[in-house]
Amino acid sequence: MKSILVIGMGKFGHHLVNRLIELEDEVMVVDNQEANIRDVFSKVTSARIGDCKDVEVLKELGLSNFDIVIVCIGESFQDSLEVTSLVKEMGAKHVISVASRDIQAKFLLRNGADEVVYPERDIAYRLASKCSADHVFDYMQLTDEYSIYEIPIVKEWEGKTIKAVDVRAQYNVNILAIVPQKGKIMVMPPVDYCFRPGDHIKALATKECIDNLIRKIG
């Protein structure tokens, strides 16, 4: 469980906060419009109405008490940049800011952000990779080289264990989870797990290595 402050409650902020609550984190939200936070009052640990460009408002939040401060101000990049700079100057441990373009990310990183995320770009890249590749059901890029892919198992794996198939040695692919046709995802499955019909795997690999494996699926 972490203590997280979310500044700005637009669409992205709402999705973020609702998921953080599901993950049982302690969440405080701040927005300058009451209407934007009214629907989460009863869900979050704390909620405030205030303009975070105001130093006095930020002082009252106790920024150093939060593990993470996330700046989700989407309407005005100037406001986002100013708030990012202020919260870092006033003691925030780790600041994550939202950007929509590379130039915005550069300015945010220079002015206090420890990390920058691109929600719209990341979703677009993920969807494009999923749609353009056969047998890829989910995709998340981790670095320029490595990504996590959800793909179905090779037919010949059915009835065999992870150890027997030896995917890592054969294809240079690391299995992070099993996604069964029914039931819960199994994270970090044991080597004696026996593949069943309909199973998918979540695998960490380069595109070249995952493409070699996909060719076996047919």
Q: What is the pLDDT along the chain (218 residues), one digit of tens a residue?
A: 899 999 999 888 898 999 899 889 999 999 999 999 998 988 999 999 999 999 999 999 999 999 999 999 877 899 999 999 999 999 999 999 998 888 988 999 999 999 998 877 777 666 666 665 667 888 887 777 888 999 999 999 999 999 999 988 988 999 999 999 888 899 999 999 999 999 999 999 998 888 888 888 86
pTM, two decimals, is 0.65
- Predicted local distance difference test score (pLDDT) of residue 217: 81
Backbone angles phi, psi at 44, to 5 degrees: -85, 165
3-state helix, strand and coil shares in percent for the chain, rounded to the nearest 5: 40, 25, 35
A 10 A CB-CB count for 165 gives 18
- Predicted local distance difference test score (pLDDT) of residue 133: 60
Could you tell me the domains of the chain?
A: 3-117 (3.40.50.720), 122-217 (3.30.70.1450)
Beta bridge partners of 94: none
